[in-house]
């Protein structure tokens, strides 16, 4: 029986070594957007990036992203506009403090070196399907994930009015570092 228990410990410990868990590094990452406001390009960003990433470049079926950003960190460089974006008619950060993306599937793209992720994006309690291409560049002790997608803000009841375009572009540059190795075997 001790031999069997020892084999289980070795097996689970061995599997844990191949499991590549990463934590997004907020201070090194960039979540930015571009939208037309009164016909002019307006840019902004978010911070407060958190979550977990499992990434195995040679086994995409085992990969996943579950990440959030802090909606109250919206920053367009204009304090008065940023305060308004936090109100109920836009991000309603009091009731919906996080924006979340959870992947469902990751696979290779037709474009060499590019991957494709599909999943669920949740803003203001509304969840919609989202799919976009991205790259995964190895860096010291982790990866740099970069991608871009277009979305419609009204799909998530973000803002009303006609002076702001419904369509915006979101750019992602997410630095993720290996998570500390932990074992739950007792």
pLDDT along the chain (186 residues), means of 10: 44 49 98 93 97 94 97 97 96 98 92 92 98 97 98 95 90 95 45
99 burial type by CB count under 10 A (0-12 exposed, 13-18 middle, 19+ buried): buried
Rounded to whole angstroms, the Cα distance separating 130 from 92 reads: 21
Residue 106: partners with Cβ closer than 8 Å, 6 or more residues away? 60, 63, 64, 65, 115, 116, 117, 118
CATH 2.40.128.110 fits 20-178, yes or no: yes
Residue 182 pLDDT: 47
Cα distance between the two ends of the chain: 16
174: nearest Cα among 152, 142, 133, 128: 142
Residue 181 pLDDT: 55
Residue 9 pLDDT: 41
Residue 121 pLDDT: 98
123 burial type by CB count under 10 A (0-12 exposed, 13-18 middle, 19+ buried): buried
Residue 148 pLDDT: 98
Structure tokens of 165?
């375009």
Residue 186 pLDDT: 39
């Amino acid at each position: 029986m001790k031999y069997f228990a020892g084999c289980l410990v070795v097996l689970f410990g061995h599997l844990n070594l191949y499991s590549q868990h990463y934590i997004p590094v907020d201070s090194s990452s960039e979540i930015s957007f571009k939208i037309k406001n009164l016909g002019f390009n307006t840019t902004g960003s978010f911070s407060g990036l958190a979550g977990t990433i499992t990434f195995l470049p040679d086994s995409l079926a085992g990969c996943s992203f579950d990440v959030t950003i802090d909606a109250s960190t919206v920053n367009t460089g204009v304090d008065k506009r940023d305060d308004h974006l936090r109100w109920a008619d836009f991000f309603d950060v009091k009731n919906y403090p996080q924006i979340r993306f959870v992947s469902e599937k990751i696979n290779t793209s037709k474009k060499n070196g590019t991957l494709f992720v599909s999943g669920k994006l949740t803003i203001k309690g509304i969840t919609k399907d989202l799919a976009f291409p991205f790259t995964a560049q190895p860096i010291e002790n982790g990866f740099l994930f970069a991608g871009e997608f277009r979305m419609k803000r009204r799909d998530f009841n973000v803002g009303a009015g006609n002076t702001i375009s419904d369509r915006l572009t979101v750019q992602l540059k997410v630095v993720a570092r290996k998570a500390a190795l932990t074992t739950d075997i007792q």
